[in-house]
Chains A and B, each alone.
Chain A
Amino acid sequence: MKPTEIRALIASHRRYDALFALLGVLALMIGVLTFAALFADMALKGAGRLDWNFFTAFPSRHAGQAGILSAWVGSTLVMVVTAAFAVPLGVAAGVYLEEYARRNWITDLIEINITNLAGVPSIVYGLLALGLFVYQFGLGQSILSAGLTLALLILPVVIVATREAIRSIPQVIREGSYALGATKWQTVRYHILPYSSAGILTGIIIGMARAIGETAPIITIGALTFIAFLPPAPLQAEAPFLSFEWLLSPFTVMPIQMFNWTSRPEAAFQANAAAAGFVLVAMTLAMNALAIWLRYRLRRNIKW
């Protein structure tokens, strides 16, 4: 080929290159801009309601006085219960599957099961929880029931994240530990868990961010949509100072509060819903930001 031909060929290849870059940016923008528009829309519509009072007031029949106190407290407490159950169970299951279990048809079956569980619609978890936690175990329509339900829902996410984080640890690190006479548990305790903690935490937080927005299973187990009191405080003035009564208290959560307001005909409640939506998205984004920051911090000294 002559140099002029080569140049023409490169120019034509370059055009395709630029075309693909453009298509990629467009595809990206559709997702990002849609979200940005939604978020901005909520922020604008709800801006008038976003004040201190909105966070410290109970819901009310008067839109102007209504707030999300019971909802954000409920969401926070439900998340605490969810994390308390999903984290130890999910991490232990993930560690077991990666480090202890022998590869055979039973573990293959379990693996397929976990992958499928992640795809089960959340309402199905709600139905399961209604039968099992609310009635069978007699936990009632409580924070505990809701937390357990959401823990089940995000368990596959935590297990999969744990396994992937563990799998990224090079085998030579394990062998280095075993070669010094370590048992499996010592290897897990001193190496596997610390080195995979960034990935595990990221998975946990992403799971939690999903759980905080879940509505269907929480409605199914019978969360209240209008609640004008808070659960008993976990900390008390007199001994034994800690109280777990709040676990069995009725509650509501952010998405249900939002759902309740959107179903009202008055326009003023729509503003409340937008403001609550803004807060909910902000909570989710904050959790994701925390995940990114933790991953960055914990991985600083680990490179393989």
Chain B
Amino acid sequence: MVNDLPVTEIAPKAEVRELSFYYGDFQALKHITMTVRERKVTALIGPSGCGKSTFLRCFNRMHDLYPGNRYEGKIVLHPEDTDLLARDVDPIEVRMRIGMVFQKPNPFPKSIFENVAYGLRVRGESSRRAIEEKVEQALEDAALLDEVKDRMHQPAFNLSGGQQQRLCIARALATGPELLLFDEPTSSLDPIATAAIEELIHDLKTQVTILIVTHNMQQAARVSDFTAYMYLGELIEFGVTDELFIKPQMKQTEDYITGRFG
């Protein structure tokens, strides 16, 4: 395994140490160690079933929603050095600090405004003014405000697929997450909507650290600063995106990115 090329000048946001994950008896992740750099985009690539989504969902303890799942190892979130997987850390706290955007746009069947406001309401924000300001800012940050500002109180389902996904990004941004997880965010979108989301991800890294799972290698090459290649639950290679794609260290990685495998 080739791991973590020295990029010392960029602060780490999250450090994964010896992470293993089990669905019941099945070990889905095997001793993963890597560092997610602050305000950079880190991409997770690999063939279907390699565990990249499983890995991503460890970061916001999504696996806690289902019985029989077990973590081993640590994910340390800086700067407070909180171990996200520790038993005494409430998964709800983790999810309040780490946002997530899903594979298929999953807006709530409510108005556009209420979708973005939901995270704020969950946090007990009751000031109308504050909610309105933050919703507007989040929609602006998600490059959606211009398209929806005249119909904030219409159902979110009236939006196109790409707009829905940007709405979901706005929903996650509204609460100011420290880390934003993207689980194949463009897999159900057309090329134009995909380009818009990729551009957005590129712009967002000035304000938030991003971890993105993608089945599309070109996408990883386009949007990410760092890339991790995973296979069968193991981290095979992790490094600077340009280097990994141009000069992979591992034969397996090379086979995958050149299309000889996967």
Contacts and interface: CB of A to CB of B under 8 A. Distances in A.
Given A176-B171, A179-B60, A303-B157, 5 more contacts: A103-B67, A178-B95, A179-B100, A180-B119, A180-B175
B109 interface: yes
Interface of A: 102-103, 170, 172-183, 186, 190-191, 195, 301-304
Nearest to B158: A301
Contacts of B102: 172, 175-176, 179
Interface string B56-79: 000010100101000000000000
Interface in B118-139: 118-119, 121-123
Interface string B72-111: 0000000000000000000011011001101010111100
Interface of B: 60, 62, 65, 67, 92-93, 95-96, 99-100, 102, 104, 106-109, 118-119, 121-123, 155, 157, 168, 171-172, 175
B122 A180 contact: yes
A229 to B, nearest CB: 49
B62 A175 contact: yes
Contact of A182 (B106, B109, B122, B157): B122
A176 B157 contact: no
Nearest to B111: A301
B108 A177 contact: yes
Please give me the 9 A-B residue pairs with the lowest Cβ-Cβ distance, nearest first. Answer: A181-B96, A179-B100, A172-B106, A180-B119, A181-B95, A302-B109, A176-B106, A182-B122, A301-B155
Contacts of B60: 179
Contact of A179 (B95, B104, B157): B95
Given A183-B92, A301-B155, A301-B157, A176 B122 contact: no
A178 B108 contact: no
A145 B108 CA distance: 42
A102 B171 CA distance: 30
- From B95, B109, B119, B123, name the one whose CB has the most chain A CB atoms within 10 angstroms: B109
A66 to B, nearest CB: 51
Contact of A176 (B93, B108, B155): B108
10 contacts: A174-B65, A176-B102, A176-B107, A176-B171, A177-B118, A178-B62, A180-B99, A181-B123, A181-B175, A301-B109
A304 to B, nearest CB: 8
A191 B106 CA distance: 13
Nearest to B175: A180
A102 B106 contact: no
A186 B106 CA distance: 17
Contacts of B168: 176
Contacts of B119: 180-181
Nearest to B154: A301
A191 B92 CA distance: 17
A60 to B, nearest CB: 54
Nearest to A104: B67
Contact of B106 (A175, A181, A190): A175
Nearest to B98: A179
Contacts of A180: 95-96, 99, 118-119, 122, 171-172, 175
Contacts of A170: 106
